Structure 1
Amino acid sequence: MSDAQKAGDRAVSHEAADVSDRDGRTGTFGPGRRLSCLAVVVAVLAVGTGGFVWLFRDQLFHPFGDARACEGSDTKLPQVISAGGAPIPDGASDVHYYTRNGRAEVTFVSVQIPDYLHRAGILPEDEPLFDEKYGTKADADDEIELPDGLCGSPLRGPAWVYGSTSATGSGVKVMVERSPEVFDSLRIPARAVVTYNLH
């Protein structure tokens, strides 16, 4: 082999070594490249898992896949909840329920609570909202915690508690927010809590 060929081979070898060592990479699968690929794979998996959890959050974190159901509930309520003898008002918001051992507690916010009370037979038509034949003032005047197990926002006092017997003969209790300014009115809208037997 001539001196010129040897010199050419040495130049090619040095060039390859320079490319190989540049930025700490050796070939296509050096340690730096492997770390970059691993970071990309981890990021893709994290985004995919996060998207899956977000998409199926109701099914993953609520009983029966129902966002209205509170943790520990043992019976799923239908889409239209009949609480204490009548469906809760159309358009009710912030609806939550807790079911345990054949009993249900439902909370919701609505402007139509007087109508609901009449439809459920809890308060007869044309009777005043706060007739003591059908209810009584709640003990607390300020915030009132929801019953154990029932999730959602507490009631704001003052509140009124109605007691009734449903068509099946079981007891129904409705606690509802009363207006703090207008003596003979509910809050608009008002939060209610209805407790009743499922059967």
Structure 2
Amino acid sequence: MSDAGGAGGRVASDAMDEVPYPESVGETVRGSSPMKRRLSRLAVVVAVLGLVAAGLVWLFQDELFHPFGDTRACDGSDSRLPKVISAGGVPIPADASDIHYVTENGSARVSFLSGDVPDYLHRVGLVPEGESLFDETYGSAYGLGSDESELPEGLCGPALRGPAWTYVGRGQGPAINVLVERSPIASDTLRTPARVIALFDIR
């Protein structure tokens, strides 16, 4: 009985000895390592490419999301305006900021903010030097209440706030229309600074 048991034990022991358990596990792990390494490398490559793509989008966002790569240009513009915009043949004020424009079929609408609007109106020939900015010979009240605002179609950026005054080029003067924000407090002055929207031909 003990011999049989001993024999059975030896057989079991021999069988156990024949199963290279640690080596087989090691081989299995080693066999999967190349795949894991490939997946790890792929993940790193994808992450790096994602970072590069994000960097390029950030770096060239103006070119990607604005017509002509010009942050001033609104969607739908078909012509690029120069760095120094001339409306009615006269450069807009040097202090102009928050500039936006849309161009279509040879005409342009330009919106800007300036504290030097009276001088611009004189320079562009819409109001002669020494004349009142609100002389109805040269302009008129625009139908926009003090609690209202308006933005011409296609133009982007902030809207013009009422009340407003409109000037129209006449006779031999420039082919230009200008809307300007009036002061909501004093009817004989403009806002300071005032938003201006100029409409003119660029042909």
Is 2:84 the partner of 1:85? Answer: no
Residue type of the alignment partner of 1:109: L
Letter in 2 for 1:140: L
Task: Give structure 1 stretches of 5+ with no counterpart.
Answer: 1-5
Identify the match of residue 28 of structure 1 among 11, 25, 33: 33
Offset of residue 28 of structure 1:
3.2
Greater Cα radius of gyration, structure 1 or 2: 2
Q: Which residue of 1 aligns with 2:105?
A: 101
- Residues 62-84 of structure 1 deviation map (CA, whole Å, 9 limit, x = unaligned): 22111111111111111110001
Q: Match of 2:195?
A: 191
Distance in 1 (alpha carbons) for counterparts of 2:95 and 2:171: 23
Cα RMSD (Å) of the superposition? 2.4
Indicate conservation of the 8 Å contact 2:95/2:116, yes or no. no
Secondary structure, counterpart of 1:96 in structure 2 = strand
Provide the C-alpha distance between the structure 2 equivalents of 1:20 and 1:153, rounded to a whole number of angstroms: 69
Could you give the per-residue CA deviations for residues 73-128 of structure 1, whole angstroms, max 9, x where no partner exists? 11111111000131011121111111111111110001111111111011111111
Give 1:163's match in structure 2, choosing from 157, 161, 168: 168
CA distance 1:93–1:10, shift in 2 (3 Å): farther
- Give me the whole-angstrom Cα distance separating, in 2, the residues matched to 1:17 and 1:93: 74
Structure 1 residues 1-199: aligned runs within 5 Å: 14-19=21-26, 26-30=31-35, 32-141=36-145, 142-165=147-170, 171-199=175-203
Aligned-partner Cα distance in 1 for 2:95–2:55? 30
Runs of 4+ in 1 over 4 A off after TM superposition: 13-22
In structure 1, distance between residues paired with 2:41 and 2:168: 66
What's the secondary structure of 2:34's corresponding residue?
Answer: coil
Q: How many residues align?
A: 187
Which SS does the other structure have where 2:195 is aligned? strand
TM-score, normalised on structure 1? 0.83
Aligned-pair identity in percent equals 54
Normalised by the size of structure 2, how large is the TM-score? 0.82
Question: d(CA) in 2 for partners of 1:118 and 1:21?
Answer: 87
SS in structure 2 opposite 1:161? strand
Give the gaps of 5 or more residues in structure 2: 1-13
Alpha-carbon contact 1:85-1:166 (below 8 Å) kept: no
